[in-house]
Amino acid sequence: MAVHSVTIHDMGDGLEVASAKPELFRGEVRQVRAQGEDGLWIVRPFRRPGGRRGEPVQTIMDVAVCIAAPETGETLDVFGAAMVVKADPARASFLLAEHIVPPGYAVPPHVHDTDDEYFWILDGVLTLLGNGGESQAAPGVWISLPRGSRHGFRNGGPAPVRFLVLCRPGLQAVEMFRHFDRAGRDGALDPAEIAAIAGQYGVSLG
């Protein structure tokens, strides 16, 4: 996401916007709209109490709202399953991604040391694996997987399963998925290689 620097001046009867890319901003308004690389951003300028006419009120764009189009997001290939990152923890306080896993796809039981993980099933039925055995998660089911809990999953059905993955804080998780994407481009990884990569991001398999 390109965040553009903007200076807002209090002109008494309105707010004047000056930007390195003036075509992205519109007029003397209290809400400034800017088209970013991954959505429509709304800027809400603030007046500084006691500020003088013509004095800068705000020098960095204050992002209040992002509306991202459906096709936007960083797409990763995690061993043959697409993962589209919708919220990057480097900018948000969590990772949010859409995960689409094909029939037969499986992730063995593992433990996250630093991330709480959540699934929300959108399409298909996901089989969850854990210390309590197996369970089925159908569309609409919300799954909470606190850090330290052992869990895995597989798609045992005939159609892809689509679900949202939320990790908090998610910084380790998103870098692990990116590492898997990069490493997988050179060919299939064996279990020992996968475990070694996961271990770099606070995830232990088994």
| pLDDT one-digit tens code per residue, 132-183 | 899 999 999 999 999 999 999 999 999 999 999 999 999 999 999 999 999 9
b/e string for 84-110 if b means 16 or more Cβ within 10 A? Answer: bbbbbbeeeebbbbbbbbeeebebeeb
Which of 49-58, 69-78, 91-100, 124-133 bottoms out in mean pLDDT, i.e. has the lowest?
49-58
Q: Which amino acid is at 6?
A: V
Query: Residue 165: which of 105, 109, 101, 97 has the closest Cα?
Result: 97
CA dihedral 47, 28, 92, 143 (to 10 degrees): 110
DSSP-assigned beta bridge partners for residue 118: 144, 166
Give span(s): CATH 2.60.120.10, the chain: 74-205
Confidence of residue 8 (pLDDT cuts 50, 70, 90): very low
Residues 115-130, mean pLDDT to the nearest whole number:
97
Q: What confidence tier does 72 reach under pLDDT thresholds 50, 70, 90?
A: confident
Decide if pLDDT at 191 tops 60: yes
- Per-residue pLDDT averaged across 43-68, rounded? 48
Mean pLDDT of the chain: 78
Residue 16 has pLDDT above 90, yes or no: no
User: With 0-12 CB in 10 A as exposed, 13-18 as middle and 19+ as buried, what is 195?
Assistant: middle
Q: What is the pLDDT of residue 90?
A: 87
Q: Which tops the pLDDT comparison, 164 or 93?
A: 164
Say if residues 156 and 132 touch (Cβ distance below 8 Å).
no
User: What number of CA atoms fall less than 13 Å from residue 37's CA on the CB side?
Assistant: 7
Residue 112 has pLDDT above 50, yes or no: yes
Instruction: Indicate whether 36 pLDDT > 60.
Output: no
| CATH number at 74-205 | 2.60.120.10
Burial 2-21 (b: 16+ CB within 10 A, else e): eeeebbbbbeeeebebebee
Is residue 42 scored above 60 in pLDDT?
no
pTM confidence score: 0.70
Residue 96 is encoded by which pair of tokens? 């949010």
